[in-house]
Structure 1
């Protein structure tokens, strides 16, 4: 720098005054200052970049890495200097840095694709042609809108599966993964000369858990079966930077763009925007000019929502650059010219500010600085005399963007008007309940008292202003929404409990305030079930689930969800508490989705129980995996250990608040196995039952293990088999009829199933068996009398049906192997009838009664209501049939 002339210094002065990165770069490479000064009048052209790289002798990766990084330094030096000297505009900056990315990627791809003596060339199994890697540029790279310190989002695709031709043959997938890794290293590895671009591959199919490169067929299969709404958004700007772009887009376009006008995109984009907003709120990024309110992302969303809605029928809206799309929306009359002009002006201002933030230290940031020195640098480089003037202009632009965003996505019919019921909330202290009575509240005086109490509470008075304003905006529509339900008082007071619980959580309040449909959906749930209202109030994070109504109607794909959960846990590293919370959030979310579907009548009770049991199996499986990973002093990589479910879990009849009856078994002859698995089991219990900030997973009951509460926590398969054959009581064999393998090692589970079938098929003295079962039922009646409203213990009720079925299994499984199938009591009653062990009519009546009794029990718990004898009146014939069947089996000769 000391060799620069005074005139050179003056021309570079704006850039040097602003950018610490440039100062350090030119101090380290004085010749770069001279080169930048000499060529400052001209943009850095793509051909110049290619020429500089073409001089490479081509010796090894390290040489190419250095040349790529030196090229980036030269491009950055000229970009910063030209822009801050007023010689370039936003378009030049975006295109130049995008050119750099494309040239660097093309050069790196050509280098790593040179013939390899070991592997040869990748050949397509169908065409027999040499395959070429398609580098897909996503996001701003795809739209040629890169910022100066941007990541580049890439996806690697190749047309056909197959294998290479060399002496060491590998699959095309392996080959392209190998050269992809080399390419990422060439571009993204940090060396003494820095990096070219940070490379992000997380947008590829299945994210970080997916293969680094995938074929057309694999990509098409993924998009058809697993592609999510946010991935449609991500692929809007996708562009092939090499290879068969036409073939790629032929596959991707139908996934992104629907043939019809896709107004569902409003909801999808709103949901995605809400996720970003919540992330910003959680991480205190309100001053993030990209993600914060009125930021760059909102402008992008405005253009992209119309692309998703109309792009399938209007091909011109499939263009990628944000500014081009906004102009086209104005041309087509979808947005007004005035609105687009304001958005374009704000976009240029925000992007220019973004670049100046990055020029400071070559850091990928969109956060406004907090220190006065950097604030002054930003203000001056943007043409303002001080930070206050700059912030005033920035606030103006962000407010405009936010207004346009809200207009596009919310479109409230009464924007700017006070809500009709606002006066009820504002005047609550006056004690006038007339308006509440007119709306139909049953006890308007009490509702008014609750409102007044909330207003005067210290909790409300001490809320941050933003939170209090949110509450003030939520309550009037809440009053109106609650009044539309048949139980307005209960609906309103239950949600009021929720508001008080989340009153200092602005992100939750904002969700309710900004999404009227969410408030209506919330009210419908709180009206329908006190159990659900209590569950949601305990776990307000589940309010997020209400953002996308489709999730609440989508049947769970447990294997797919299991992959998602495992990846989430993997991302948490060694943070045990975070992992336990993650498991709880996952379980709570899916219980909530199932209860919503149940209340909407979308699922039969048996289906609800099946899903709740599958969810429990998944949670047990993943918990076992996580605990074993963290267990010290393991003697083998995988545990020879399994969880056996009994009772409702074993019979796949779980309800929303059911305990898990489980037994732990292992099959491992290592001398340390009993001690290791005992510790393992204790940790599993802790992971399942511990109360963390996210709540708890399950209450578990281990009393059905051999020797009950006095027995060992974990049993070997051998000890379990011996106990069942030699020591177990008949009631323990009854319990075994509803037991099944749930989680853990499959071989141990198979060994259990073999023991179970062997025990169930053991021939028995029927008279003695009848006495044992009858005696056990009588003992239960001593502690649980057969009250007429007790669906479980009433004579002819759930317990009698279960005991009848258990008796029939133990009595006849030796002759009828199908009784060993754990197919549920209703199916087993049908089996008993088919085998002529009980009359078909009795079996049908018992099955109908069992189904209705479970439904009554289920609804009673969800609705928070007490059952009455009158509620059981419609099934008296079924109860009577079960009582007759009981009498026939246990007191008289069997009916043939």
Structure 2
């Protein structure tokens, strides 16, 4: 929020409202002119240095000069802010940069003094000169310091060792003793109160072990502390840790130590409960203080709807997601909120209002401190002081200011509650105790069966037995009491929802318990489902709808995160944004093959899961879903090729002249969730290193796709369709591929080519491949020989997939999907020389209709067969979603479709009708 600038007539009164500013002006006759000159500028470190040097040149010590400079900086900010020349961003940035300047100047001077006495601190392992790293924490770390704030610091150094002396007058110290003495001197130089005041108050309480811990810690001490003693609230504090001094290599090493402590590799929804507890403790202390001092009851920082709640709103998502998304590791509250809006994690309008409210609260906080340069966040009790604050806030009265403040605090409190309010339903507390007691009693099965029957379960006994078996398993019994309580709460919440699933009650129940048992030891997932009941409801609906979906979510529980935002879950894929995000994340982990492979899997699974959710809600046709899954596969293949190429040390060019050609379901854009990828690899490159490097690339591509990582695999890869099959080279040159297709390929390979297309890689190869494909498919063929070979090949496939059940196999049986696909391939190969449009890779349904329009087959029969193919695919898809390996169904459900297919087969191949 930008405050309305005051009129020229109002400025004197507004400036007089700051007693600190008036006292400073009265301290010297030249100060008003100095302030008028300096306040025309936005202050920078270069200006700080100029003014400091001028003070020192006039005879002041560094400590004295720095304190005088500090007072001038604060008064300049007061004047610029109150006169409307500076906004909140300038105020917090300037005072934060000044804090950096103070620490750096004093540390440099004190280090020189210490080295003259004790020598140079040196690492015992590396032999490198050691420097003290000063970490700025809290608002200082995020460049969001307030004008009268203390500064939270932590002192570190890289290696233990001793100082190296250069003459006999110096006394060697251990590095720890050296930096401890240096740290004490630094704190005194900055914070001791003299006649000129102080530079900053210093707070060292955030260091490992707090006030009882050593003042300075080596990297080894910091790492050991994080591993053994680091507490949850310290993760929150270290989010903002920023090195203000030190060697760049040492800072990078320290950040590698800090990062795994602060940011979890998984989505850490347990952070919500931890921050909720921390906030409750802070609020309890504020309430206690307010009860003792009612006149101080309006705290804009720690009170309800205050600054701290905005900070928690931003930082909880950093702790939850920052381990997986580096863009959420920014130390600034405002920047983090904007990133959350940009990523769709928080609503954009809500974030804009949060930033507006945050700005209002920070502006008010500054004016509370402008009054007397006191570190306060509480609205004053004295009427005169209240009027001064109102005046600085451009309000005509205190009542007007409070009326402006109230809606900001109410909005912040509302948004805070939406995230942090305890989601436990107190109304189910009695039921939880009952269920827990039942599970532990000798009569538990009978009691539970009765309870579940009353709740509407048709197979209550089976449900009860499964629940008892799960609960008494070692996996559940080994959980902490907190996790078991969360499990009980989730089960109680799930019971009435599963009861509404009618025929799928028992199946859904078993699937849910399988899932809960899998995630039981990951308390973050239990926390997510507890904090977001609508996510649990969505899980139950998906598990009732599809066994495949249940198993997919159980294998990849990280996908629970996708269920939180219903709007994004239903959005059609933005493939441009997905591709950019994919490339960005792969670039962030360049050089870390394992993490890149995980990234590919995580992003693929997340998008696949979104499509699955839309599919189960009936928002996608089978054809549309296949198109989207095929596009997703294309993008993953393209990204994998480029990333894998960068890992080949011997690569002879930056961008490979290499392409992946898709066959089968991917080639025909008929991919399903669990399809493998039928591909071949082509290159067009005369460099002598090309064959070897592209063979490495193909092998590495297969490894990246098929390797089992913690996130699973991407795709199974089938390369049997390459020239000469299993005996052929893994990678073919474009020229050899063309020769093979024109001179040596079997007819079935040309059948496969009808469904082939360029998938990813070099665009020039794509164009040449399409030319070759078009040329091969348009060859004139002997009709009788073609018919005989197609029928013969179909018989071989049928003999290899004999159906001994009484059900109809949608794929393999006579009149099924493969028959339709063979007929389309036959029509393309038979007539493409005459009708080039038949070589277009437009799918079986479109090609059937095109053949009908061209008069190659009966148009009505073409339409019926096209509808049959669509219906058979839909049935197959539905069966596969229930986890069935074979898509078989009662023949009565597809009688018309099978009849149309068989009729078309008979019209094309005469008496060679496949047997029923």
Q: TM-score, normalised by structure 2?
A: 0.60
Match of 1:278 in 2: 320
Q: Decide whether the 8 Å contact of 1:651 with 1:822 is kept in 2.
A: yes
Q: Give the RMSD, CA atoms, in angstroms.
A: 5.0
For the pair 1:673 / 2:690, whether they are aligned, the reply is yes
The structure 2 residue matched to 1:606, chosen from 616, 623, 628, is 623
The question of 1:572 aligning with 2:589 is answered: yes
Please give the alpha-carbon distance, in whole angstroms, between the structure 1 residues aligned to 2:688 and 2:879.
50
2:741 corresponds to which residue? Answer: 724
Among 435, 449, 455, the residue aligned to 1:424: 435
Q: Give the counterpart of 1:489 among 485, 502, 506.
A: 506
CA contact (8 A) 1:757 1:820 kept: yes
Map 1:252-651 to 2 at 5 A: 275-279=317-321, 308=349, 318=356, 320-321=358-359, 323=361, 348=377, 407-409=417-419, 416-419=426-429, 421-422=431-432, 423-430=434-441, 431=444, 432=447, 433-486=449-502, 487-651=504-668
Q: Which residue of 2 is the match for residue 862 of structure 1?
A: 881
Shift of residue 448, structure 1, vs aligned partner = 2.1
Determine the C-alpha separation between the residues in 1 that align with 2:312 and 2:497: 22
**Contact (CA 8 Å) 1:425, 1:476: kept in 2 or not?**
no
CA contact (8 A) 1:501 1:537 kept: yes
1:101 aligns with 2:112: no
1:830 and 2:849 equivalent?
yes
Q: How far apart, in 2, do the equivalents of 1:561 and 1:103 lie?
A: 40
Shift of 1:878: 2.4
Alpha-carbon separation, structure 1, partners of 2:739 and 2:331: 69
Distance 1:325 1:434 in 2: 61
C-alpha distance in 1 between matches for 2:26 and 2:484: 54
How does 1:733-748 map onto structure 2 within 5 Å? Answer: 733-748=750-765
1:846 partner SS: helix
How far 1:429 moved relative to its partner? 2.9
What does residue 167 of structure 1 align with?
Answer: none
Distance in structure 1 (CA, Å) of the matches to 2:798 and 2:346: 64
In 1, Cα distance between equivalents of 2:791 and 2:54: 88
Aligned equivalents of 1:599, 1:69: Cα separation in 2: 68
1:319 Cα offset (Å): 5.3
Secondary structure of 2:678's counterpart equals strand
Distance 1:307 1:754, change over 3 A: closer
Shift of 1:415: 5.1
CA distance in structure 2 between the aligned counterparts of 1:445 and 1:680, rounded to whole angstroms: 56
Listed one character per residue, the Cα deviations across residues 659-714 of structure 1 (whole Å, up to 9, x for unaligned) are 10000000111122111111110000000000011111000100000011111000
Q: Distance in 2 between matches of 1:679 and 1:68?
A: 62
1:687 and 2:697 are equivalent in the alignment: no
- Report the CA distance between 1:814 and its aligned residue: 0.4
2:869 aligned residue: 850
- Higher radius of gyration, 1 or 2: 2
Where 1:750 maps in the other structure, the secondary structure is helix
State the secondary structure of the residue aligned to 1:671.
coil
Aligned to 1:769, what secondary structure does the other structure show?
helix
Query: How far, CA to CA, are the matches of 1:648 and 1:580 in structure 2?
Result: 24
Q: Please point out which of 716, 723, 726 is paired with 1:699.
A: 716
d(CA) in 1 for partners of 2:32, 2:560: 50
In structure 2, relative to structure 1, the CA distance for the partners of 1:723 and 1:462 (3 Å cut) is same
Aligned residues between the structures: 626
Query: CA–CA distance in 1 between the matches of 2:579 and 2:626?
Result: 18
- Unmatched 5+ stretches in structure 2: 1-22, 56-61, 72-76, 99-140, 154-241, 249-309, 366-374, 379-409
Structure 2 Cα separation of the partners of residues 889 and 533 of structure 1 = 43
For residues 95 and 305 of structure 1, the distance between their equivalents in structure 2, rounded to whole angstroms, comes to: 25
Supply the distance in 2 between the matched residues of 1:97 and 1:833 (Cα, whole angstroms): 69
CA contact (8 A) 1:270 1:409 kept: no
- Cα displacement (A) at 1:68: 9.1
Q: 1:95 to 1:720 in 2, by over 3 A?
A: closer
Alpha-carbon offset, residue 145 of structure 1: 8.6
Which of 771, 793, 803 is equivalent to 2:788? 771
1:319 to 1:63, Cα distance in 2 relative to 1, 3 A: closer
Do the aligned residues in 1 keep the contact of 2:777 with 2:832 (CA within 8 Å)? yes
Contact 1:642 1:741 survives alignment (8 Å): yes
8 Å contact kept, 1:805–1:829? yes
From the superposition, tell whether residues 716 and 495 of structure 1 become closer, same or farther in structure 2 (CA, over 3 Å): same
TM-superposed deviation, 1:55: 11
Deviations 1:223-278 (A, max 9, x none): xxxxxxxxxxxxxxxxxxxxxxxxxxxxxxxxxxxxxxxxxxxxx99997763352
Q: CA deviation at 1:762?
A: 0.5
TM-score, with length taken from structure 1: 0.61
2:168 — aligned with what?
A: none
CA offset at residue 458 of structure 1? 2.4
1:812 aligns with 2:831: yes
Structure 1 position 891, deviation (Å): 1.9
Distance 2:862 2:775 in 1: 26
Of 494-503 and 643-652, deviating more is: 494-503
Q: 1:855 to 1:144 in 2, by over 3 A?
A: farther
- Structure-2 separation of matches of 1:414 and 1:103: 43
Which whole-Å CA distance do the structure 1 matches of 2:87 and 2:319 have between them?
A: 29
Is residue 756 of structure 1 aligned with residue 773 of structure 2?
A: yes
Alpha carbons of structure 1 residues 892 and 469: separation in structure 2 relative to 1, 3 Å:
closer
How many angstroms does 1:651 deviate by?
0.2
Kindly state the Cα deviation for residue 469 of structure 1 after the two structures are TM-superposed. Answer: 2.9
Secondary structure at the aligned position of 2:646 is classed as: helix
Residues 502-538 of structure 1 show CA distances to partners (whole Å, capped at 9, x for unaligned) of 1111111100011111111110001111100000000
Contact 1:645 1:660 in 2 (8 A): yes
SS at match of 2:808: coil
Q: Give, in whole Å, the separation in 1 of the partners of 2:348 and 2:360.
A: 10
Q: CA 1:51 to 1:553, structure 2 compared with 1: closer, same or farther past 3 Å? A: same
Distance 1:768 1:517, change over 3 A: same
Deviation at 1:470, TM superposition (A): 2.1
Q: Distance in 2 between matches of 1:692 and 1:881?
A: 46
- Quickly say closer, same or farther: Cα 1:434–1:783, change in 2 above 3 A: same
* Cα distance change of structure 1 residues 325 and 104 upon mapping to structure 2, 3 Å threshold: closer
Q: For 1:802, which of 821, 824, 846 is the aligned residue?
A: 821
Work out the CA distance in 1 between the residues paired with 2:635 and 2:620. 20
Structure 1 residues 291-337: Cα deviation after superposition (integer angstroms, max 9, x where no partner): 9xxxx99xx99xx999946989xxx995552527999xxxxxxxxxx
Query: Does the 8 Å CA contact 1:424/1:435 hold for their aligned counterparts?
Result: no
- Once residues 844 and 528 of structure 2 are traced to their aligned partners in structure 1, the CA distance between those partners, rounded to angstroms, is 44
Cα 1:837–1:306 shift into 2, 3 Å: closer
Q: Does the 8 Å CA contact 2:880/2:887 hold for their aligned counterparts?
A: no
Equivalent-residue separation in structure 1 for 2:51 and 2:93 (angstroms): 10
8 Å CA contact retained: 2:556, 2:711: yes
